Structure 1
Amino acid sequence: MPKLLLSGSALHVVLVASLAAGPAWAADPAPPDQLAPADPVTAGPRQVLAEPLPIEEIRRYVSVYRTVQQAYVEEVDEADLMQSAIRGLLTDLDPHSAYLEREAAEAMTEQATGTYDGIGVELQQQPDRSLLVIAPIDDTPAARAGLRSGDVITEIDGEPIRADNVDGAVQTLRGPPGTAVELTVLRDGEPGPITLSVVRERIQVASVRSRLLEPGFGYLRISTFQADTSRQVVRVLDELAEASGGTLSGLVLDLRSNPGGLLNSAVEIADTFIDEGVIVSTRGRLPFSNTEFSASPGDRLDGAPIIALIDSGTASASEVLAGALRDHGRARLMGNRSFGKGSVQTLLPLDNGDSLKLTTARYYTPNGTSIQARGLRPDLPVVSRNGAGRRNLRESDLPQHLGRDPAEVEEGLDEEDEDRVIEAALDALKQLSAGGTLPQADARARRRAQQRG
């Protein structure tokens, strides 16, 4: 059976640009404790093809292929021409479907571990072959060098990124630790290109950070979902509880600028806080695309309230977690609208070692809501760290995205830095812990009740 992939909003630089999506992973439709990240895919494209081929269209393609091969001004390598044709077949589908050469497919497994050599940035390939920065990863060379969400990389080490060298250009972002790479970047508000020098490192992404905000109230930051993230979450929750005398009265769960990661990791973390019911489901045209993941009994916080922080960089698996917690009444969402990456990719291997990464399904929150190109709207709106004057990138901004949704501007508090956001979350937690209510969340609940009635 082909195995489902839930891709992040963008790609880590260890992957070739043709992924046009984030770290990827395999997940069987099985209980979370049986999911093994980066399992090999066991089915090829022949097992999902059922309809007869359009012979006339195939003939037209062959005619064009032969004409280009014979009449183009310069001789064209047959293999290169065929590769271009295959990439073109996938280009207009959606931003996350792509042809992966063998090295790119193998790098997906490496990415799931959170350890690689590079600069640490999430990228999205654009139709013009430039590379759009979704977000630098926490505490990596890209973040320290000043690379920002929304930047457009046009040159790497002085070489323009062209249609025929995108894969090679992205591969140059990898390299031995300690070596530098120079990026030419276009940035909103800047009169011209700017140059950033970034020193490569052995990137070891720490997916979980935590601290005690006050006795009884913890802070948990998840920057990405890796193979061991759920185990780390359980460990730090126990540590926070022990530091608070045995129990927590509330938790701030920070999912801002979390581009996603392993789906099974997000499911396991949701199960940590949810007693029963569906966590996430996927729906597509083929049988293997229809799956459902459910919670097992037990809530690590024993019902203590959670405020989950989200922003436009909260995407994919992190949206799965946030949506599940809210639909089950386990968390209020604070921040601004999330990215809206609600599609599932399946990795289909080819006989030459390459693979197709094909969008095969949408995922749905427990209430049956698809967030594709819409995102999750917060219960407590707060302008993101990027500032009120800046328009943030979301799935609905990507060419050929699934399910178009008009871009909207969030209204809310103009927070100056993340510390104030965390302070606001802590205040909300205290109010909930004391038995109070949050007006914004109550209004949302009333609207939903009216719609159902």
Structure 2
Amino acid sequence: MTGRLTLIGAGIVLGAGLTLVATVPRFQPAGIAYAASSSSDVYRQLNLFGDVFERIRADYVEEPDDAKLVEAAIKAMLTSLDPHSEYLPPDKQRDMNVKTSGEFGGLGIQVLMENGEVKVVSPIEGTPAQKAGVLSGDVILSVDGKSLEGVTLDEAVDKLRGPVKTPVTLEIKRTNQEKPLEFKIVRDRIVIPSVHWRTEDDVGYIKINEFTENTGDGLEKAIADINKKIPADKLKGYIVDLRNNPGGLLTQSITVADDFLDKGEIVSTRGRGAENTQRFNARPGDLASGKPVIVLVNGGSASASEIVAGALQDHRRATILGTRSFGKGSVQTIIPLGSNGAIRLTTARYYTPSGRSIQAKGIEPDIEVLQDVPDELKDKVEVKGEATRPGHLQAEDGKETLSPSQAYVPEDPKKDKQLNTALDLLRGVQANKNFPPNPETPVPN
């Protein structure tokens, strides 16, 4: 084992959160680790574990799988700590690497399981699938002659992915076609964009879905593209949409916050001992050139999203608008175990520049705006935050936020009350005492 990956995430979507790359020493052999302990209780508990393990092996009604017993014990040990510590078998570790890297070898199609069938949501523009003619709504019947009937969505995705430059044959059922179609496609490097942007007349809108390895580059490209389309004297400002963003790489959240800051601390992480404290500071250069910024958050904004929102809020660089964020204020480190996968271990808490820990609290918006939710969705769009998760790390001051927070974003931008409020504020159609932010206003507790 040569390195580790640090994550801060709520696990709402990715199960990953916020990530930092660092180096760590190899694990000590068990005997050395135990000898370093001054407590005889450790030996007694380990002897108890060994006794139970041997009793199961000797007396269980059927011969157990030793490896599965050990894996189950490791899983239970880690999950007993908090909701974010866990064991990652090799396949799950590979999945996490794909999610955090934002790229893989594949065809470039988004799929879902519908009525037991693998259905194409949409092909990604410019990918092999799109170039070959795969369409939204197509149903994939088989991959390389092997039927997808009865497989899980994850199993289907594994069959579709593969090394770059390798061929794959898809049998596809298409509406209004009597016979299945056959597509022979060569896999390529697929990059999943985490940043999407557009111009809203005189405002730049930037949506960050998650924080992967290409997020920083995506944001810089978005700002450059917006600046080309809107003259500086016409540009009213930027909207950075972090709603329902569950987190990702720590390094990328720092980069995103840094792009809007000229100086000052962005975030600090603090472990059990003082030697484990790290501080990350902004470098000179505000890519937004001081233009007003509004950051949109809601109950689905967690971890890396909260680091960005907290940093820009504390420095009074942006106005935070929407509903309270998730409240995931801890750091997880991915520690590889060679061919045995990895463990994800909570190793620190993180703090905003003013020293706030948002663990089990969340980021309170400067301007709260609730969406108008259709009646049929009202009981489905509120997210219970970190404070309600069993075994979560307690808030340092004991004051936790237990009430749920709205996490609804309408598909139609015209019905998006939070987005339209932000646009009105930037254009001066609406006024609010918290926009633009006043540098003299105290930071929220």
TM score, norm. by length of structure 1: 0.70
Asked whether 1:27 is paired with 2:21, we answer yes
Structure 2 partner of 1:175: 159
Once residues 157 and 92 of structure 1 are traced to their aligned partners in structure 2, the CA distance between those partners, rounded to angstroms, is 37
CA change 1:171–1:82 in 2 (3 A) is: farther
The residue identity in structure 2 corresponding to 1:10 is G
Structure 2 equivalent of residue 223 of structure 1: 209
How many angstroms does 1:26 deviate by? 3.7
**Offset of 1:444 from its aligned partner?**
10
Give the aligned partner of residue 367 of structure 2.
380
Tell me the matched-pair count: 375
Runs of at least 5 residues in structure 2 that lack an aligned partner in the other structure: 113-120, 126-135, 138-147, 162-169, 173-186
Q: Which SS does the other structure have where 1:281 is aligned?
A: strand
Amino acid at match of 1:224: E
Other structure's SS at 1:427 match: helix
Deviation at 1:352, TM superposition (A): 4.9
Deviation, 1:442, is: 9.2
Distance of aligned partners of 1:263 and 1:221 in 2 relative to their CA distance in 1, 3 Å threshold: same
Whose Rg is larger?
2
- Residue of structure 2 in register with 1:44 after alignment: 26
Q: How many angstroms does 1:306 deviate by?
A: 0.8
Moved more, 306-315 or 393-402: 393-402
Partner of residue 260 from structure 2, selected from 253, 258, 273: 273
Instruction: Give the Cα separation in 1 of the matches to 2:427 and 2:123.
Output: 28
Q: 1:79 to 1:255 in 2, by over 3 A?
A: same
What whole-Å deviation, never above 9, does each CA across 1:292-313 have from its counterpart, x for those lacking one?
Answer: 1000112122221111111111
SS of the residue 1:211 aligns to: strand
SS state at 1:261 partner = strand
1:6/1:317 contact within 8 Å kept: no
Q: Is the 8 A contact 2:83 2:389 kept in 1?
A: yes
Distance (Å, rounded) in 1 between the aligned partners of 2:96 and 2:246: 15
Residue 369 (structure 1) aligns with:
356
User: Retained in 2: the 8 A contact 1:270–1:321?
Assistant: yes
Is 1:94 paired with 2:82?
A: yes
Deviation at 1:408, TM superposition (A): 1.5
Aligned residue number for residue 428 of structure 1: 425
Deviation at 1:359, TM superposition (A): 0.4
Compared CA separation, residues 306 and 121, structure 1 to 2 (3 A): farther
Shift of 1:280: 0.6
The answer to whether residue 306 in structure 2 is matched with residue 324 in structure 1 is no
Tell me if structure 2 keeps the 8 A contact 1:12–1:121. no
2:60 maps to what in 1? 72
Aligned twin of 2:302: 315
State how far apart, in whole Å, the 1-side matches of 2:122 and 2:297 are.
16
How far, CA to CA, are the matches of 1:447 and 1:250 in structure 2? 21
Please tell me the residue identity of whatever aligns with 1:343: S
Q: Which TM-score applies when normalising by structure 2?
A: 0.72
Tell me which residue corresponds to 1:205.
192
Identify the residue that residue 403 of structure 2 maps to in structure 1. Answer: 408
Tell whether the 8 Å contact from 1:379 to 1:444 is kept in structure 2 after alignment. Answer: no
Q: Which moved more, 1:87-96 or 1:204-213?
A: 204-213
- Aligned pairs for 1:253-402 within 5 A: 253-286=240-273, 289-350=276-337, 352-384=339-371, 388-390=378-380, 391-402=382-393
- Aligned Cα root-mean-square deviation (Å): 4.1
Partner of 1:241: 227
Q: Distance in 1 between matches of 2:217 and 2:309?
A: 18
Q: CA, structure 1 residues 278+256, in 2 after alignment: closer, same or farther (shift >3 Å)?
A: same
SS of the residue aligned with 1:221? strand
Counterpart secondary structure, 2:207:
strand
Query: Hey, what's the Cα distance between the residues in 1 that align with 2:268 and 2:365?
Result: 21
Give the CA deviation at 1:395.
2.3
1:86 aligned partner, one-letter code: I
Label 1:101 to 1:286 Cα distance change in 2 as closer, same or farther (>3 A).
farther
Question: 1 CA distance for matches of 2:312 and 2:62?
Answer: 58
TM-superposed deviation, 1:12: 6.5
Q: Secondary structure at the match of 1:46?
A: coil
Q: Which residue of 2 aligns with 1:189?
A: none
Amino acid of the residue matched to residue 100 of structure 1?
L
1:112 pairs with 2:106:
no
Q: Say whether the 8 Å CA contact 1:9–1:315 is kept in structure 2.
A: yes
Offset of residue 320 of structure 1 = 0.8
Give the Cα separation in 2 of the matches to 1:105 and 1:121. 21
Aligned-residue offset at 1:86:
1.3
- The 3 A distance-change label for structure 1 pair 283 and 77 is same
C-alpha distance after superposition, 1:25-73 (max 9, x if no partner): 4424xxxxxxxxxxxx542333996544611111111121122222222
- Which letter does structure 1 place at the counterpart of 2:388? D
- Deviation per CA, 1:375-434, whole angstroms, max 9, x where unpaired? 111111122586654432432332212126342245999989543322111111223xx9
Distance 2:339 2:262 in 1: 45
Q: Once the two structures are superposed, what CA deviation does each residue of 1:102-157 show, in whole Å capped at 9, x if it has no partner? A: 333344333223134698799xxxxxxxxxxxxx99999xxx99xxxxxxxxxx98
Output the CA distance in 1 between the equivalents of 2:328 and 2:270. 15
Structure 1 residue runs of 5 or longer lacking an equivalent are 14-20, 29-40, 123-135, 146-155, 160-167, 181-200
- Partners of 2:72 and 2:109 lie apart in 1 by 28
Q: Counterpart of 2:363 in structure 1: which amino acid?
A: L
Structure 2 counterpart of 1:81: 69
The verdict on how the C-alpha distance between 1:169 and 1:234 changes in structure 2, with shifts beyond 3 A counting, is closer
The residue that corresponds to 2:178 in the other structure is none
Task: State yes or no: 1:9 paired with 2:4.
Answer: no
Residue 137 to residue 42, structure 1, CA distance change in 2 (3 Å): farther
Superposed displacement of residue 10, structure 1: 2.0
User: Does structure 1 retain, via aligned residues, the 8 Å contact 2:204–2:226?
Assistant: yes
Please give the alpha-carbon distance, in whole angstroms, between the structure 2 residues aligned to 1:137 and 1:395.
Answer: 33
Instruction: Provide the rounded CA distance (Å) in 1 between the counterparts of 2:102 and 2:66.
Output: 37
Query: Does the Cα contact within 8 Å between 2:90 and 2:341 map onto a contact in 1?
Result: yes
The one-letter code sitting in structure 2 at the alignment partner of 1:430 is R
